[in-house]
Amino acid sequence: MALTGVEIFKLLPKTNCKKCGFPTCLAFAMQLAARKVSLDACPDVSDAAKATLGEASAPPVRPITLGTGTKAVKLGEETVLFRHEKKFVNPCVFAIGIKDTYDDVTVDKKIDECLTSEIERVGQKLKVDAIAIINDSGDKAKFEALAKKVASKAGDVPAIICTGNTDAAAVALAQFKDKKALLYGATMANVTEMAGIAKGNGAALGVAASNLDELQDLTEKAKGAGIEDIVMDSGAKKAKDILEHNTLLRRAAIKKGNKSVGFPTINFMMRDDNLLETLMVGLGIAKYSSIVVLSSAEKWKNLVTFTLRQNIYTDPQVPMQVAQNIYEIGAPAPNSPLIVTTNFSLTYFIVAGEVENSKVPTWLAVMDCEGLSVLTAWAAGKFTAGKIAAFIKESGVEDKISNKELIIPGYVAILSGALEEKLEGWKITVGPREANAIPTYLKSKTA
């Protein structure tokens, strides 16, 4: 369980030597308690104190990396229950499930869905991160064949080997040796053998319990067998139970310092109804799943779930930004209107959305104001006449348009005079204050 600043202070040398960069040992201790610095910054701390502090300062949910190379993904490391407290750390991993009972065409299709899933949204690249190979047949040879196929076609994608059969586990996992795969399916009956197979192949171990008591026993057994990287399945299948178990596990790890359950979680979200499955993925994103396993990854479904994951895992203290650019909405012509606004993502989305609604093709000049909204940026001196003028001149938009008229947000009407001085030859027009008035405004302007 996390120590307080004072408790940490008692373990430090108390020399106030300043070598850590802080004026006193107490100040350093406070930073340690807030997880803002590393204990390594103190050169004089004793080994005994290091051991105690190391244990106490480890993240309540253990960080685990799946896969190697550019496609590796991180799990765990979470420190809070609600996103307003602090940013959620490692976005829920999406794994497409491929069963060894599928025919070749379906298998190829699913692998392809994973490999071609990447899309870009608000400057981030989003994709299906992993492949879960599922031993639905119970047959060792079929499972091995599927593992081989996935390894040859998508060998750099993090793999999750799902089986309760130790023979099948051994042959399938061997295809991903030392690639930091996840071997999922350790139960009370086989945990020792499964731990041995995972260790031998450099894999993490996924434990599959049937309730929370058993889960805690299983993780302890896995730890006893020398496994450090554990992923937990409490056995919850229904949305109600997933919500309950994930919440209790996250709370136990973070608020009670329960190290037996301080591990990432995995939930199987497959449903016959694909739309319901999409919403189950949403449940996993919002309510603490580290990995969700899906039955399919159609492009429409990806766009929905990727967007939600991006929304929930943004830093609530850092505004989302879009890139500074002259965006073309509709197919603007040289005489189409030109609107300027700031690059706060919400501002951009709302303004761009209303311009779309207007059906009037428009040039939308989005200026980098460090992600602040119009009024805030203006108040902070980032959306001033001088800066807007410089942005418009450097943007090259002058070469694209025929009439030099710039529409500014109604809230900064005050800037119009100064802008006309700084943008010689331009007409500055004051647009609506609120984005919802944009359609009417643009329609009347071009009527």
Partner 1 sequence: MAFTPPKETYTGKVYPVTIGSGDKAVTFGGENVLPFHSFEGSTPNRPVIAYEIMDVPPTDWPDKVKEPYAAVSDDPVKWAKFCEQDLKAKAIALRLYGTHPDSGNKSADDAVKVVKDVLAAISVPLIIIGSNHAEKDTDVLVKVSEAAKGNTCVIGKAQEANYKTIAASAMANGHMLIAMSELDINLSKQLNIMITQLGFTKEKIIIDPMCSALGYGLEYTYTVMERIRLTALTLNDATMQQPMLGDVGMYVWKIKEVTASEDILPEWGALTERGVAWEAQTAASLLLSGAELLIMRHPEAVRAVDAFIDELV
Catalog residues that contact partner 1 under the rule CB under 8 A. 82-84, 119, 121, 212-213, 215-217, 220, 238-240, 243-244, 247-248, 251-252, 255-256, 258, 260-261, 273-276, 278-280, 282-283, 286-287, 298-305, 307-308, 310-312, 314, 316, 346, 349-350, 352-353, 356-357, 440
- Strand segments (E) across 64-121: 64-66, 73-75, 93-99, 119-121
Q: How far apart are the C-alpha atoms of 415 and 398, rounded to whole Å?
A: 20
Comparing CB distances to partner 1, the nearer of 239 and 418 is 239
State the minimum distance, in angstroms, from the CB of residue 381 to partner 1. 23
Comparing CA positions, the residue from 132, 135, 134, 136 lying closest to residue 158 is 132
State the minimum distance, in angstroms, from the CB of residue 311 to partner 1. 4
| Count of all residues that appear for the chain in the document | 447
Tell me the CB-side half-sphere exposure of residue 76, using CA atoms within 13 A: 22
CA distances from 114 to 94, 96, 159, 179, 408 (A): 10, 7, 12, 18, 43
Comparing CB distances to partner 1, the nearer of 14 and 299 is 299
State the minimum distance, in angstroms, from the CB of residue 411 to partner 1. 14
- Match 């073309």 to its residue by tokens: 328
Comparing CB distances to partner 1, the nearer of 52 and 274 is 274
Tell me the three state secondary structure of residue 24.
Answer: coil
Comparing CB distances to partner 1, the nearer of 132 and 280 is 280
260 Cβ neighbours under 8 A, 6+ residues apart: 216, 219, 220
- Match 């996250």 to its residue by tokens: 250
Comparing CB distances to partner 1, the nearer of 95 and 218 is 218
Mark 292-304 as b/e (b = at least 16 C-beta within 10 Å): bbbbbbeeebbeb
Torsions phi, psi for 364 (to 5 deg): -115, 110
Comparing CB distances to partner 1, the nearer of 67 and 284 is 284
State the minimum distance, in angstroms, from the CB of residue 278 to partner 1. 5
Contact 345, 319 (CB under 8 A): yes
State the minimum distance, in angstroms, from the CB of residue 276 to partner 1. 5
State the minimum distance, in angstroms, from the CB of residue 99 to partner 1. 22
DSSP annotation string for 31-48: HHHTT-S-GGG-TT--HH
Amino acid at 274: N
Comparing CB distances to partner 1, the nearer of 90 and 163 is 90
State the minimum distance, in angstroms, from the CB of residue 346 to partner 1. 5
Helix segments in 287-384, DSSP class H: 299-312, 345-358, 374-379
Comparing CB distances to partner 1, the nearer of 136 and 356 is 356
H/E run at residue 341: strand 338-342
Torsions phi, psi for 267 (to 5 deg): -130, 135
State the minimum distance, in angstroms, from the CB of residue 414 to partner 1. 22
State the minimum distance, in angstroms, from the CB of residue 135 to partner 1. 26
Comparing CB distances to partner 1, the nearer of 12 and 269 is 269
Query: Interhelix angle for 166-173 vs 140-154, to 10°?
Result: 20
State the minimum distance, in angstroms, from the CB of residue 264 to partner 1. 17
Comparing CB distances to partner 1, the nearer of 209 and 388 is 209
